[in-house]
Amino acid sequence: MSILNREFLNKLRHWHSTVAQTLALPANCVLCGGTAKRGLCAGCHHDLPRLPASLCPRCALPTPDGGLCGGCLKAPPAFDASFAALEYTGVVGQLIPAAKFGGRWSLLPMLAETLLHRLPVAPSVDLILPLPLHANRLKERGFNQAVEIAKPLAKSLHVPIGHDMLIRNRDTEHQARLTQAARHKNLRGAFVATAAIAGKRVAVVDDVMTSGASLDAAARALKKAGAVHVEAWVVARTL
């Protein structure tokens, strides 16, 4: 075993141990400091900035009548539908980074639950696909938050997770550093899907949709491999 692989395995073991300890111990609310079983107390959970019911069915931006927004009428994304629970602002802008980078693993199932309440009771998809990280980014972070969000969704909805059917084959620059136009260019050809996806209806899960460039690139790869319908499921949406 190479030194790099050994270091990666050790990092993964340490992460799993940390997750187990974090989930087993009582925690304080990351927002107000009160008692919380899953990182957020009932009051702060109730006050999260939820998106309105009237959203564009294609990209999950608010619209007056729940119809397609102007952007999707002019240049529709490759995914066919989107579901999002929260507005990515204020406290949500603290919670998601805390879950991803601050060691507050217990927030992830709670965040997945907020998304679950916005999904159809009987979703019309065959598979759930967590948006993949490149291997280099996975080694750096130690886990993929999209996987941790997808797991409770798959369990509650009785829809299987399609492991390794969508792969990130290019280690792209961080999207947050780029303009909207540059984000789409940055992700061109970044994903590849396996032939097993042909004929499937799939949902791609991620934590946040900002420009939608990552999910659009993933959906293009999935449709190129034969997927017949692609949905984007995200915890939060940037408006």
Q: What is the pLDDT of residue 232?
A: 98
- Using a 10 angstrom Cβ sphere, with 0-12 exposed, 13-18 middle and 19 or more buried, the burial of residue 113 is middle
pLDDT higher than 70, residue 43: yes
pLDDT at 180 over 70: no
pLDDT in tens, 204-220: 999 999 999 999 999 99
Q: How far apart are CA 64 and CA 205, in angstroms?
A: 26
| DSSP-assigned states of every residue in 34-73 | -EESSSS-HHHHHTS-BPPS-B-TTT--B-SSSS--HHHH
- Amino acid present at 194: T
The predicted structure's pLDDT at residue 185:
59
Length reported for the chain: 239
CA distance 103 to 110: 15
Q: Which of 2-16, 123-137, 163-177, 189-203 has the lowest mean pLDDT?
A: 2-16
Per-residue confidence (pLDDT) for residue 190, from 0 to 100: 83
Distance CA 83, CA 56 (A): 9
Q: How far apart are CA 145 and CA 147, in angstroms?
A: 5
Q: What is the 8-class DSSP label of residue 133? A: P
Rounded Cα–Cα distance for residues 233 and 81 (Å):
9
Q: Where are the domains of the chain?
A: 3-237
Q: What whole-number distance in Å separates Cα of residue 156 and Cα of residue 206?
A: 17
The mean-pLDDT minimum among 36-40, 152-156, 173-177, 186-190 falls in 173-177
Which pLDDT band holds residue 140 (cuts at 50, 70, 90)? confident
Q: With 70 as the cut, is the pLDDT of residue 55 above it?
A: yes
d(CA 12, CA 139): 8
CA dist list (Å): 185 to 53, 72, 84, 125, 210: 32, 19, 24, 29, 15
Please report the sign of the dihedral spanned by the C-alpha atoms of residue 55, residue 91, residue 172, residue 228: negative
Mean pLDDT of the chain, nearest integer = 85
Full-model pTM = 0.83
